[in-house]
């Protein structure tokens, strides 16, 4: 990857950068739709470009879109500065832009959470604060969310590696440095265990229709020197039946108060298969992915994506003209199928409303 930050142990690749000082800073995103063929960085000149990048999955993964949503609010303040907005016009502009950013994708709650943190911080400024003052405050909040996510990923990695059983691992979608501000969630558990000396093969579901497992997870692990084998999603059942897999571990886009977990389409099916084969199923996510306003997973909105993603995967037609497509981007895994949820605050197991409340306390 063309950029990285240093952590205590090693260099961690990054996929989101804020470059430049003060109001001349700009948001840069590694365009994940081009991976693994090309590493192209995209500069987001306005909020429309940030929203487009989130919607078209140039940046994706729940924590990563939260971070970009927060930087998007800084971009909104820069727009206000350019247009000379102040007073009520400035407040209106930031409110409209916050709404557009928070709803760019519906399922991952981190996006709404991060934008709300930004708007709450603006509430602490005087009513007549200038666009420059708003910009400064928002940049501090966005940088704080970004830095915090790096630390959360490291803590999730440590807690998860403590409980990861020995043996090969099966994962779904992408949950690494491309999906977060740090080493990842489920992938941080895997790489932390690897760095501690545990040895295994990582099996990565290709993750249809957008191939986040094949294109992104395999790419990250190859760079990290961790052995990875890609399989078609439909091969997971057979692989589990061989007895080779010691654990499945995935990330999350939104977790309800009882532990029901929304994640990439196919996750629920994988959890059912894991249960049928007696293989433990783990979820790894930061506290910002919990939505304690939802009693269970039935209230989690599931994003439906364009038919073309299914009918012409990677742009290659795979179905006849005239066929329709069903393309939900996420599904909800019931808490009863999850052995443990690994958070930065510790491990939730068994997964129950009481344990979620006990480990998370009040999530702000």
Kindly determine how many residues on this chain lie close enough to bind ligand MRU according to the rule CB under 6 A: 20
CA atoms of 245 and 318, how far apart (whole Å): 31
In the list 258, 261, 263, 287, the residue contacting ligand MRU (rule: CB under 6 A) is: 263
Which 8-state DSSP code applies to residue 304? B
From residue 49, give the alpha-carbon distance in Å to each of 4, 54, 101, 228: 24, 9, 11, 34
Output 137 or 305, the one with its CB closest to ligand MRU: 305
From residue 85, give the alpha-carbon distance in Å to each of 24, 74, 76, 79, 94: 17, 14, 11, 9, 10
Output 79 or 220, the one with its CB closest to ligand MRU: 220
- For residue 341, the cross-strand partners are 283, 348
Q: How far is the CB of 216 from ligand MRU (least distance, A)?
A: 8
Six token digits for residue 361: 């306390």
Q: How far is the CB of 109 from ligand MRU (least distance, A)?
A: 10
In the list 93, 112, 254, 264, the residue contacting ligand MRU (rule: CB under 6 A) is: 264
Neighbours of 142 (CB within 10 A): 28
Residue nearest to ligand MRU (CB): 251
Output 26 or 158, the one with its CB closest to ligand MRU: 158
In the list 206, 220, 253, 260, the residue contacting ligand MRU (rule: CB under 6 A) is: 253
Which 8-state DSSP code applies to residue 337? G
From residue 43, give the alpha-carbon distance in Å to each of 30, 34, 115, 200: 9, 15, 20, 38
Near ligand MRU in 63-102, by CB under 6 A? 63
Output 28 or 58, the one with its CB closest to ligand MRU: 58
Q: Which of 250, 314, 234 is nearest to 36 (CA)?
A: 314
Q: Which of 64, 106, 119 is nearest to 254 (CA)?
A: 106
Q: Is 175 in the site for ligand MRU (CB under 6 A)?
A: yes
Q: How far is the CB of 315 from ligand MRU (least distance, A)?
A: 17
Q: How far is the CB of 243 from ligand MRU (least distance, A)?
A: 26
Near ligand MRU in 177-236, by CB under 6 A? 179-180, 184-185, 212
The 105-124 site mask, x for binding ligand MRU (CB under 6 A), equals: ---x----------------
From residue 35, give the alpha-carbon distance in Å to each of 55, 122, 215, 222, 258: 17, 36, 6, 13, 36
> What Rg value do the Cα atoms of the chain yield, rounded?
20
Q: How far is the CB of 99 from ligand MRU (least distance, A)?
A: 20
Q: How far is the CB of 23 from ligand MRU (least distance, A)?
A: 30
Question: 3-class SS at 345?
Answer: coil
Q: How far is the CB of 305 from ligand MRU (least distance, A)?
A: 8
Output 94 or 342, the one with its CB closest to ligand MRU: 342
The interface region with ligand MRU, picked from 117-125, 197-205, 251-259, 336-344 by CB under 6 A, is 251-259
**Quick check: is 253 catalytic?**
yes
CA atoms of 114 and 121, how far apart (whole Å): 11
The 304-343 site mask, x for binding ligand MRU (CB under 6 A), equals: -------------------------x--------------
Q: Which of 59, 47, 72, 62 is nearest to 14 (CA)?
A: 59
CA atoms of 69 and 63, how far apart (whole Å): 10
Q: Which of 253, 260, 291, 331 is catalytic?
A: 253
Output 134 or 204, the one with its CB closest to ligand MRU: 204
Degrees (nearest 5) of the Cα angle 229, 305, 101?
A: 105
Residues catalogued as catalytic:
253
- Residues binding ligand MRU (CB under 6 A): 57, 60-63, 108, 173, 175, 179-180, 184-185, 212, 250-253, 263-264, 329
């Amino acid at each position: 990857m063309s950029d990285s930050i240093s952590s205590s142990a090693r260099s961690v690749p990054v996929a989101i950068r804020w470059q430049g000082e003060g109001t001349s800073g700009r948001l840069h995103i590694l365009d994940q739709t081009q991976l693994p063929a090309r590493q192209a960085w995209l500069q987001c000149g306005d909020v429309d470009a940030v929203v487009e990048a989130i919607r078209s999955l140039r940046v994706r993964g729940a924590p990563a879109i939260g971070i970009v949503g927060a930087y998007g609010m800084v971009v909104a303040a820069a727009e206000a500065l350019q247009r000379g907005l102040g007073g009520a016009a400035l407040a209106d502009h930031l409110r409209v832009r916050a709404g557009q950013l928070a709803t760019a994708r519906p399922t991952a709650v981190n996006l709404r959470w991060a934008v709300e943190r930004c708007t709450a911080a603006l509430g602490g400024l005087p009513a007549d604060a200038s666009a420059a003052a708003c910009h400064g405050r928002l940049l501090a909040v966005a940088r704080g969310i970004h830095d915090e996510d790096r630390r959360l990923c490291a803590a999730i990695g440590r807690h998860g590696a403590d409980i990861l059983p020995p043996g090969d691992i099966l994962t779904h979608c992408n949950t690494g440095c491309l999906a977060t501000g740090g080493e990842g969630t489920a992938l941080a558990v895997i790489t932390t265990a690897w760095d501690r000396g545990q040895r295994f093969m990582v099996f990565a579901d290709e993750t249809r229709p957008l191939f986040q497992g094949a294109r992104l997870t395999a790419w990250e692990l190859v760079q990290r020197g961790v052995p990875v084998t890609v399989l078609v999603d439909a091969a997971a059942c057979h692989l589990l039946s061989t007895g080779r897999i010691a654990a499945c571990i995935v990330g999350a886009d939104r977790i309800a108060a009882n532990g029901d977990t929304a994640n990439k389409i196919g996750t629920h099916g994988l959890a059912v298969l894991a249960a049928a084969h007696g293989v433990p199923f783990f979820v790894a996510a930061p506290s910002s992915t919990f939505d304690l306003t939802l009693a269970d997973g039935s209230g989690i909105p599931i994003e439906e994506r364009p038919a073309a993603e299914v009918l012409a995967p990677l742009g290659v037609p795979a179905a006849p003209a005239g066929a329709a497509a069903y393309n939900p981007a996420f599904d909800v895994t019931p808490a009863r199928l999850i052995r443990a949820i690994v958070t930065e605050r510790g491990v939730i197991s068994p997964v129950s409303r009481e344990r979620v409340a006990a480990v998370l306390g009040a999530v702000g």
